[in-house]
Amino acid sequence: MAARELNLPLANARLAFGQHLAGERRLSPKTVEAYGRDLDQFAAFLGAHLGHTISLDDLAALKATDFRAFMASRRRDGLSARSLARSLSAIRTFYSYAERRWGVENAALTLIEAPKQGRSKPKPVSESGARALIDEAGRSRGSDWIEARDVAVLSLLYGCGLRISEALALTGRDRDLPESIQITGKGGKTRLVPILPVVREAVAHYAALCPFELPAEQALFRGVRGGALGARAVQKRMEDLRARLGLGPTATPHALRHSFATHLLAHGGDLRAIQELLGHASLSTTQIYADVETSRLMAIYDGAHPRARQR
């Protein structure tokens, strides 16, 4: 039985792995798709590298040089260090699953290190810029309900630190928001998010003007034709707004979430509390906002302090 299972084609094992990720681990469809894409690229490389269709038996026999050859190949294809690290993580996760299910073991994989990657700093919008974006969204000279919708969505991103997907996941039952709401974020992690009065008012104003029915189980935010509002529509709206205001390309919807964290920190917010509000699993992820604020303060110091100007 073991030998027969080790002869299982990698394509079949990859399908079972995808079902495991979606069913047992309950990962999002996009995450499952990303894992599958990374494994497909690995399988395609191995097929050309070894000259035959890959089975689990081949995975157990790979040497460290084979893994390094794959990494080098992906690097030549232009893959960034971050993407390469993600690809390696997907392979490790698959091997862990294959070992539990089929007894596939390969110690060579433990010898492979993920590439070093620089940690990019978030690029928040300034406080005045964030306010201007929301104000401008309400002066778009379009339909009143669409203006109200855009103000409500941007208010949730900046006022509550939500991701676009989290804001667009709200349903008709959320039209009258309470003082706090439970949000389910990445990896199914839930957090309690306070809702500012101005944000509650913006959402209620939109719901009152929206020309479509908003059933409890269906999307709260709607597109022009009544379907669920998509993330791309919000991104395009931000592109339009930042062009009107003369803001740079870093003024994206996600930048408003960065702004939420950075501005809270600048006004004395506790880093641990901000971690909880953002739904970060690790404080080290939130720490980067402190680094951004420190860099900003140092720039102000260098530009304003008399001794700095003397240099």
| Residue among 161, 166, 136 at smallest CA distance from 151 | 136
Helices 144-160 & 253-266, crossing angle to 10 degrees? 50
| Residue among 135, 70, 84 at smallest CA distance from 114 | 84
Token pair 């790979």 is found at: 62
Whole-angstrom distance, CA of residue 295 vs CA of residue 273: 21
User: What tokens does 243 get?
Assistant: 């062009």
Whole-angstrom distance, CA of residue 196 vs CA of residue 155: 9
Are 136 and 241 in contact by the 8 Å Cβ rule? The answer is: yes
Whole-angstrom distance, CA of residue 204 vs CA of residue 135: 17
- Residue 26 contacts by C-beta under 8 Å, 6 or more apart in sequence? 188
Whole-angstrom distance, CA of residue 42 vs CA of residue 210: 48
Helices 231-245 & 253-266, crossing angle to 10 degrees? 70
User: What tokens does 292 get?
Assistant: 């951004």
- Residue 7 contacts by C-beta under 8 Å, 6 or more apart in sequence? 55, 56, 57
What DSSP string runs through 213-224?
---TTSBSSB-T
User: What tokens does 13 get?
Assistant: 């094992």
Catalytic residues, by residue number, are 163, 186, 254, 257, 280, 289
| Residue among 251, 246, 245, 266 at smallest CA distance from 154 | 251
